[in-house]
Structure formats: structure tokens, C-alpha cells
């Protein structure tokens, strides 16, 4: 029990938090009172605090040059009808296409639900071993053993943000901001079914109708599922025809449609940020 309490996983959590987490994982080792006694007998409280002072968290540097190479996932709370009632929205986003590839609305935040969503989404997307990096914050569900074991078994590389650094997960943050700034987003949802209906409508709009400035004003679905080249060619033809009809309107010659980024980064290295290559690279989502 002492080894668990002083481990990196639980070094910043109180015995009550440790007890609850282990219980949710189907593991009862001892009572909360016993945990406090063990720490006191071994004078471990100070050691746990000291252990927490200088963790070695590396800045994630992730690159995606196409769909299903890097996903970002996060959980946000949606307010229910009463104070302190929430519904938990789990969302998995492809950072290259900005497509929401999986989501779930639940009454609780838990590692088993996250594991279920991740596994189902990977299967639906046909992701192969050693193809995908899955990036997230460091919330308990995201750093849980069950999620880590699933990713290892599927050949998925896991990546985590540094603590308290929101820029390490910008794509998920931007997507949630887009959702919560929609005019139909309420201050509170009347019930679970209301929240579920909103989410269904929102993600349908976001993936299939929302023209995203970070991906050449395409919809996330059209880029994710391979329709980008056809759409951009059609746009180019439309602009060329407009130029032919009224060339005087286009001082710079035949206009071109917005282009796609060649690469999308989370925390691009300095050398990459300074490179000037044909199509723009994106380090984080632009306008929603």
C-alpha cells in the first residue's frame, strides 16, 4: 500500500482520492484511515510533496501530415438542470482534419468509459498498429492504467500535455470553444436527453457543414474522408471561370482557393516554425 501512495501516479492525491480511484478500478487495498496511518508511520507525507516538486515533464512535439496520424481527446462538463449536476462529454478529434472521429456523453467521468470510446473509435476508423498517436491532458481518466494498457495492446502511442499548459492541447480546446459559443448552446441543459440531442446536432454540423479556416475552408469530414482534392479542383475551376468572365475584377490574375496545410503540429520545434514552405503549416487551430 505504501508503494502505491508514494508512486508517481498518486503522489499529488490525497488518500481519499487514491481510495476512490482504486475502488473504481475494482481494487480495494485498505480504508482511507489506514492509508493516513501508513503515511504517518512512515513519515511519507513530506516525501510525497517533495516528489511532486520537480517532475520531468517534456513538451510534446507532435506532427500530422494526414488524417488518423494524431488524435487529441478531452472531456468537458455540460451543466445539468441543477447546481452541481453535470454531463461529461468525451470527444476525440483528428488534429489534421479537425474531424470529430468519436464522442460520448455520460453521467460520469471514468477510465472504463474512456477506454470503451477509444477502442470503438479506433476500430471504426480502421487504425492499424503503430499508425496513431493519441494526445490528451493529464486528468485521471486519461492517465489511467486501463487506457494505457488498451493503447499498448493496439499499438497506439500515447502523449500527454504538461500540467497546467493549455497550449499543449490546443485543438481540443478550440473545438470545445466553438461548441460553447454556438448561439443555441444553453447555460444549462434540462436533462440528459436534451444534452445528447444538442451534441448530435452540433457534431453533425461541425463535421459536415462547418467550413474551417484552418483546413482551407473545407468541412472536417470532407478532408478526413478524402474529398479535399476534388472540392479544391472544383473551387479552382469556378474561380477560373469567374476570372475569364471579368478579368478586370482580379488585379492579381486568376485567383486560387485557400490551400491545405502541409503539416499540423502540436508545439512545432523552432526550426519548423521558422521554415517558409509553400502551403502554410498550422501549430494550432485558427478561427473556429
The model's pLDDT over 170-214, given as tens digits with 9 standing for 90+, comes to: 899 999 999 999 999 999 999 999 999 999 999 999 999 999 999
User: Are 133 and 161 within one domain?
Assistant: yes
236, containing H or E segment: helix 228-245
User: Are 139 and 166 within one domain?
Assistant: yes
User: Are 281 and 217 within one domain?
Assistant: yes
| Strand 70-79 to 133-136 pairing | parallel
User: Are 278 and 163 within one domain?
Assistant: yes
Q: Tell me: pLDDT of 51 over 60.
A: no
Q: Tell me: pLDDT of 9 over 90.
A: no
Mean pLDDT over the full length of the chain: 85
Bridge partner residues of 118 (DSSP): none
Does the predicted model carry a pTM greater than 0.85? no
pLDDT category of residue 117 using cuts at 50, 70 and 90: very high
User: Are 39 and 125 within one domain?
Assistant: no
Domains contained in the chain, number:
2
CB 100 within 8 A of CB 206: yes
User: Are 165 and 266 within one domain?
Assistant: yes
User: Are 48 and 111 within one domain?
Assistant: no
Closest to 277 measured CA to CA, from 285, 287, 265? 265
Bridge partner residues of 178 (DSSP): none
- pLDDT tens track for 241-286: 999 999 999 998 999 999 998 899 888 776 555 554 444 444 444 3
pLDDT category of residue 138 using cuts at 50, 70 and 90: confident
User: Which pLDDT belongs to residue 268?
Assistant: 79
User: Which pLDDT belongs to residue 278?
Assistant: 44
pLDDT category of residue 113 using cuts at 50, 70 and 90: very high
User: Are 200 and 256 within one domain?
Assistant: yes
End-to-end CA distance of the chain: 47
Owning domain of residue 34:
2-53
User: Are 178 and 141 within one domain?
Assistant: yes
Q: Tell me: pLDDT of 218 over 80.
A: yes
User: Are 35 and 143 within one domain?
Assistant: no
User: Are 132 and 32 within one domain?
Assistant: no
Q: What is the mean pLDDT of residues 214-229?
A: 96
User: Are 270 and 233 within one domain?
Assistant: yes
Rounded distance between C-alpha atoms, residue 216 and residue 223, angstroms: 9
User: Which pLDDT belongs to residue 11?
Assistant: 66
User: Which pLDDT belongs to residue 275?
Assistant: 55
**Alpha-carbon distances of 83 from 79, 131, 188, rounded to whole Å:** 8, 43, 9
User: Chain-centre distance of CA 169, in angstroms?
Assistant: 7
Amino acid at each position: 500500500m505504501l508503494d502505491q501512495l508514494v508512486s508517481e501516479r498518486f503522489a499529488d492525491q490525497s488518500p481519499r482520492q487514491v481510495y476512490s480511484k482504486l475502488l473504481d478500478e475494482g481494487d480495494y487495498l485498505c480504508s482511507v484511515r489506514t492509508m493516513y496511518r501508513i503515511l504517518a508511520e512512515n513519515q511519507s507525507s513530506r516525501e510525497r510533496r517533495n516528489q511532486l516538486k520537480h517532475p520531468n515533464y517534456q513538451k510534446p512535439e507532435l506532427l500530422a501530415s494526414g488524417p488518423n496520424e494524431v488524435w487529441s481527446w478531452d472531456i468537458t462538463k455540460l451543466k445539468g438542470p441543477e447546481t452541481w449536476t453535470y454531463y461529461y462529454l468525451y470527444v476525440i478529434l483528428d488534429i489534421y482534419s479537425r474531424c470529430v472521429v468519436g464522442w460520448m456523453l455520460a453521467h460520469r467521468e471514468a477510465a472504463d468509459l474512456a477506454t470503451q470510446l477509444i477502442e470503438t473509435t479506433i476500430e471504426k476508423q480502421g487504425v492499424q498498429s503503430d499508425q496513431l498517436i493519441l494526445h490528451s491532458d493529464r486528468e485521471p481518466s486519461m492517465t489511467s492504467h486501463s487506457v494505457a494498457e488498451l493503447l499498448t495492446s493496439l499499438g497506439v502511442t500515447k502523449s500527454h500535455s504538461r500540467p497546467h499548459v493549455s497550449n499543449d492541447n490546443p485543438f481540443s480546446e478550440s473545438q470545445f470553444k466553438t461548441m460553447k459559443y454556438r448561439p443555441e448552446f444553453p447555460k444549462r441543459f434540462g436533462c440528459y436527453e436534451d444534452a445528447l440531442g444538442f451534441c448530435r446536432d452540433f457534431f453533425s454540423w461541425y463535421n459536415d457543414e462547418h467550413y474551417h479556416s484552418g483546413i482551407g475552408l473545407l468541412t472536417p469530414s470532407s478532408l478526413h474522408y478524402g474529398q479535399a482534392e476534388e472540392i479544391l479542383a472544383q473551387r479552382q475551376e469556378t474561380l477560373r471561370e469567374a476570372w475569364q468572365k471579368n478579368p478586370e475584377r482580379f488585379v492579381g490574375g486568376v485567383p486560387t482557393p485557400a490551400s491545405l496545410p502541409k503539416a499540423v503540429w502540436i508545439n512545432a520545434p523552432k526550426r519548423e516554425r521558422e521554415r517558409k514552405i509553400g502551403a502554410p503549416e498550422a501549430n494550432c487551430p485558427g478561427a473556429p
